Amino acid sequence: MVATPKISPLAPASFPELLAIGGVRFATAACGVKYTDRTDVLLGAFDAGTTVAGVLTESKTASAPVDWCRKNLSGGQAQALLVNSGNANAFTGARGWAAVEATVSAVADTLTCRPSRVFTASTGVIGEPLPAETITSAMAHLTDQLAYADNPAIWQAAAEAIMTTDTFPKGATQTARIGETEITIAGIAKGSGMIAPDMATMLSFVFTDAAIGAEALQAMLSDVNVRTFNSITVDSDTSTSDTVLLFATGAAGNASIDTVEDSALDAFKTALEEVLRDLAHQIVKDGEGATKFVTVTVTGAENDRAAKVIALSIANSPLVKTAIAGEDANWGRIVMAVGKAGERADRDKMSIRVGGFEIAAMGEAIDGYNEAPVSEHMKGQNIDIEVGVGVTTGDDAGAATVWTCDLNHGYITINADYRS
């Protein structure tokens, strides 16, 4: 039996009321892939004509499901999604690919669609063969249970089925207009550990009833991903299974838009970014053992890329993260993390603020620096770190924001017992 994890202190009060998405159906089942007392498989079915876009891990040891998605995304069409938790089906050789083919074929045969329009993802333990028969044997039950995603309970069940060490299910929703048509976006995600930005982070599946061509959908997702999932880190470890998929059913009835440059997509893109950012923040807030949500903003860098490298150097530093966990205003560790990042920084023009309180300017602690308000800020759940690296100024100055959490004993406990 899997022990019920203690819910993160940063968790939202409840699962959000995700809005209905026409053309999307879900079913979940407890197949016993690894867990014996909870659902662990999610099946999604989509109306014909649904387009799909995705971003996938850059890991050189990517899982078999990632390879399958990478192979089929170019087709731009989707009719099903199959996700299992408890087993990553990664580093499993030919057996891993055979397991993907077996499960995908079972879905395609049941839903009468092409295997290339079935997308799949797996999350859990790496290196153990996926028992495909536990999933394929449940396919008739899953298809019988398919129900339209038109109430929050169905969404929550879907989000719970893809969890591993997560302590709460994650969901987000927004509306926007394309022309005169109101459209809806809703998404779920899982992620708690092995979180670092190298395309996306862990698993997320986002759905919209908008009619948008696959190329435009892909361009938007790739762009928005950079500032959302690709800007979070819990432990600097990039998963073998990272997958974000965006499905557009067209059920809202707007005239299909095929070019990302069309201004009619502006509001949709803003709403999409809000959904992905919300999900990304929830992943950080569920970081293994996390007690504090940390925002790191870097300005004045050579360019935005350099600013992000520096911000991640701060966010990934064990010394910075443990100081935050201990509520220690040891800002010298921030200086260290900037210096090791490998990007240009003007030591004698650097500035540091924590919680909005100025600590350092022009390369040294400010006169009369009072640590008391900074220490008080460190006792809260939301920690804000701002660093100016003094290389550029004005509108062309490089800037980036990333999000992370603290590092404490809880992380060690969870990961020491991960396979138990």
Boundaries of every domain in the chain: 24-285, 293-416
| CA torsion, ordered 29, 33, 36, 40, to nearest 10 deg | -40
- The 3-state secondary structure of 199-230 reads CCCCEEEEEECCCECHHHHHHHHHHHHHCCHH
Give CA–CA dist 326/324, Å, rounded. Answer: 5
pLDDT (0 to 100) of residue 195: 47
Token pair belonging to 246: 């965006």
Per CATH, the architecture of 24-285 is what?
4-Layer Sandwich (3.60)
pLDDT in tens, the chain (420 residues): 345 568 999 999 999 999 999 999 999 999 999 988 899 999 999 999 999 999 998 888 999 999 999 999 999 999 999 999 999 999 999 999 999 999 999 999 999 999 999 999 999 889 999 999 999 999 999 999 999 999 999 999 999 999 988 999 999 999 999 999 999 999 999 986 544 555 434 799 999 999 999 999 999 999 999 999 999 987 655 556 789 999 999 999 999 999 999 999 999 999 999 999 999 999 999 987 889 999 999 999 999 999 999 999 999 999 999 999 999 999 999 999 999 999 999 999 999 999 999 999 999 999 999 999 999 999 999 999 999 999 999 999 999 999 999 988 766 665 555 445
Give CA–CA dist 35/85, Å, rounded. Answer: 9
Active-site residues, by number, are 201
pLDDT (0 to 100) of residue 238: 59
Please give the single-letter amino acid code of residue 254: N
Please give the single-letter amino acid code of residue 116: S
Give CA–CA dist 200/195, Å, rounded. Answer: 9
**Close Cβ partners of 344 (under 8 Å, ≥ 6 residues apart):** 301, 302, 306, 389, 391
Nearest to 352 by CA among 315, 386, 384: 386
Residue in this structure with the two tokens 């395309």, named with its chain if needed: 199
Give yes or no for a contact between 90 and 123, defined as CB atoms under 8 angstroms apart. no
Residue in this structure with the two tokens 């965006």, named with its chain if needed: 246
pTM for the predicted model, two decimal places: 0.93
Give yes or no for a contact between 277 and 230, defined as CB atoms under 8 angstroms apart. no
HSE on the CB side for 29, CA within 13 Å? 21
CATH 2.130.10.10 at 293-416, yes or no: no
How does DSSP classify residue 379? T
Helical spans, DSSP H, in 54-213 = 64-72, 93-111, 132-136, 139-145, 152-161
Give CA–CA dist 343/273, Å, rounded. Answer: 28
How does DSSP classify residue 356? T
